[in-house]
Structure 1
Amino acid sequence: MIIDTTKIQAIHSFSRSEYFKEVIGLIWMLVPILTLVFGITIGVLVIVWLERQISAGIQQRIGPEYAGPLGILQALADGTKLLFKEDILPSRGDIRLFSTGPSIAVISIILSYSVIPFSYHFVIADLGIGVFLWIAISSIVPIGLLMSGYGSNNKYSFLGGLRAVAQSISYEIPLTLCILSISLLSNSLSTIDIVEVQSKYGIWGWNLWRQPIGFLVFIISSLAECERLPFDLPEAEEELVAGYQTEYSGIKFGLFYIASYLNLLVSSLFVTVLYFGGWNLSIPYTSIYKLFGINQTSGFFRTTMNMFITLAKTYLFLFISVATRWTLPRMRMDQLLNLGWKFLLPISLGNLLLTTSFQLFSL
């Protein structure tokens, strides 16, 4: 066999060039992003299936059962149907706002996943302002909903968009104050640092025990931010048909559908990270290693276990959210705003002041 030395030299020179390094760096930057997008897509499909099964169990009826085993492919079938349905545009609406609104809502929520640590080494961006970035990005979502409602040229859609903005502003402030209390206890805004601080004393080191009032306020506020019952006023069927989604069909309606579950999943993940210790468990890892007979130096097994623990805690909160949907009645708009401004805001502010006082006295 004759080896062409010129080709080998060309390959070596290309591999040492700056252009090759930039290409490799771009690939390594895209791999975690594509992995995250694929993972959250699977997570949304699982949430849709679980919600239908749990709802069926609560209502004592049979849920999806024909599309795949136990109906697990029903969500995929619904998504495929929306993908091929006709995309209808309102004749007198603002088409640019109408088309841009769903994209803004979905993209803003997806960006929030970049700071969520599923494991110590499994996070896209370990930023020093991780939770602050989530607060800033989540504030963009209501803008997309208002654009959708206004661009639809429909009174029900416009009312739904206005309700979404009013509800988001009302409950973002208590949510932010609860996150500030957690940041004071952790002395950091990084999600990795917040989880690591909770790992000192096992399950008793979780912020759930140190911030019980903040935990309750955070749960209520996050449900309101996700527009889940009993806080689904922006899309109340009995009052506004479907709210800001009334004029949408096809893939644009599917984007709103995805955004709703993406927002619920990211809120559940932040509950896990901020209050339930993230990937930490009270059982030592050495006991798990001995139980399964696995080498303790296996980093892959440790990362997999961390991800499993994080997702298990997350889906526990998701179950609570689904059960709440079929337990509590929908609130009126005045009751919703009174709860946010007159009840949750003073409580969260008082909780922040107490946390600050304890931190000052403990110095």
Structure 2
Amino acid sequence: MNTSLSITENIQDWLLTIMPASAASITAMALIAVAYLTFFALAGLFLVLMERKVAARFQLRLGPNRVGYYGLLQTLADALKLVSKELTGTVKADKFLYNLAPYFVIITALMGLAVIPFSGSIQAFDINIGIFFLIAISSVGVIGILLAGWGSNNKFAMIGAMRSGVQTISYELSVGLSLLTMILLTGSLQLSEIVAIQKDGWLIVQGHIPALIAFMIYMIAGTAETNRAPFDLVEAESELGAGFHTEYSGMKFAYFFLAEFINMFIIAAIAVTIFFGAWLSPFGITDSLPWLGVFWFLGKTLVIVFLMMWFRWTFPRLRIDQLLTLEWKYLLPLNLMNIVLMALIVWLNLTIQF
């Protein structure tokens, strides 16, 4: 593992001037962890507010507008409410698994966030298997949902957890294959290298039609893997109450709720990094002003997040048979054909040169 980028190195170099090397290394990691936890919490609060405002606009209503200016403090008030709520549970629940499940979900979301390149100098870890790591971590997150469903000893929670297992196992294939299509084009799994290749143009342009198809499949499968509508059969309030987290309250419920929005952010951030040049901007603006890269990256990511929210308030929920049919009969074969098409383009050296 190669720790990168300069944010990590700069913090550690500064700490070396005031403490021994071993202490400086541990302190640097602790400071970066605190920074990411802070971002995790603030991003979650902002995305919840954004979801409510977007939903209100689609439904021709105002949304939250009482707590703070234009409702900006509403999600903060909700967070304080969840922190202060009593943690309840069922007598027949498996206490160990029931309490462990929320931490599985929240930790895997944090681990995925750690390898996202926010700019050329802000990335906790730039490992040479970055995309593989993200795919692996996304697969681990479903364990927390399965533990929640099983540990709650509730039939609705169990049905939701089993649906999540089926859905995640199915759609992570399409997520992985769509990203594999772009790996064929770049020849690298390292996110910083993939971004560097895009200095000559976004990959969605360099990769011709297969890159566009890969992006469309990735967005559909990524939305499904985060259990967002119209693929929200895991929760399905009209059928299962609250699904796998029916028996959770207070901060344990908040962990599941927050992780869903952070996972949506991660899916959008990966799309921006792989297809749309991450922090790179037209005309080399972020090369001359590197600090603008963070805002450029976040701006692109929020556009993709908005697209995922648009899905939710446009399409009705699928049935479980429709959900599996979409993946196994349509997306998976299309993905396999798209990989072959991309391989032919790379073999014939037809990538666009700028």
Does residue 1:150 correspond to 2:150, yes or no?
yes
Match in the other structure for 1:334: 321
Structure 2: unaligned runs, 5 residues or longer: 1-14
Does residue 1:197 correspond to 2:184, yes or no?
no
In 2, Cα distance between equivalents of 1:353 and 1:205: 18
Match in the other structure for 2:6: none
The alpha carbon displacement at 1:207 in A equals 5.2
In 2, Cα distance between equivalents of 1:360 and 1:184: 10
Kept after mapping to 2: 8 A contact 1:98/1:151: yes
Letter in 1 for 2:160: G
Structure 2 counterparts to residues 1-363 of structure 1, below 5 A: 20-201=20-201, 205=205, 211-285=211-285, 296=288, 302-362=289-349
Match in the other structure for 2:5: none
In 2, Cα distance between equivalents of 1:102 and 1:210: 38
Letter in 2 for 1:122: I
In 1, Cα distance between equivalents of 2:159 and 2:202: 47
The alpha carbon displacement at 1:360 in A equals 2.6
Kept after mapping to 2: 8 A contact 1:198/1:207: no
Kept after mapping to 1: 8 A contact 2:101/2:145: yes
* CA spacing shift, 1:32–1:195, aligned 2, 3 Å: same
Letter in 2 for 1:165: G
Letter in 2 for 1:327: T
TM-score calculated relative to the size of structure 2: 0.90
SS in 1 for 2:168: helix
Kept after mapping to 1: 8 A contact 2:184/2:343: yes
The alpha carbon displacement at 1:205 in A equals 4.7
Kept after mapping to 2: 8 A contact 1:203/1:281: no
Kept after mapping to 2: 8 A contact 1:203/1:282: no
* CA spacing shift, 1:239–1:202, aligned 2, 3 Å: closer
* CA spacing shift, 1:61–1:23, aligned 2, 3 Å: same
Q: Which runs of 4+ in 1 moved over 4 A?
A: 15-19, 202-210
Letter in 2 for 1:35: A
In 1, Cα distance between equivalents of 2:316 and 2:188: 38
Letter in 1 for 2:238: E
TM-score calculated relative to the size of structure 1: 0.88
* CA spacing shift, 1:207–1:362, aligned 2, 3 Å: closer
Letter in 2 for 1:343: Y
Letter in 2 for 1:269: A
The alpha carbon displacement at 1:80 in A equals 1.1
Match in the other structure for 1:12: none
In 1, Cα distance between equivalents of 2:192 and 2:215: 19
Cα RMSD over matched residues?
2.1
Structure 1: unaligned runs, 5 residues or longer: 1-14, 290-295, 297-301
The alpha carbon displacement at 1:208 in A equals 7.7
Letter in 1 for 2:331: L
In 2, Cα distance between equivalents of 1:305 and 1:38: 20
* CA spacing shift, 1:155–1:208, aligned 2, 3 Å: farther
Kept after mapping to 2: 8 A contact 1:87/1:250: yes
Kept after mapping to 2: 8 A contact 1:198/1:205: no
The alpha carbon displacement at 1:50 in A equals 1.1
Aligned residues: 336
In 1, Cα distance between equivalents of 2:276 and 2:189: 16
* Structure label with greater radius of gyration: 1
Percentage of identical aligned residues: 35
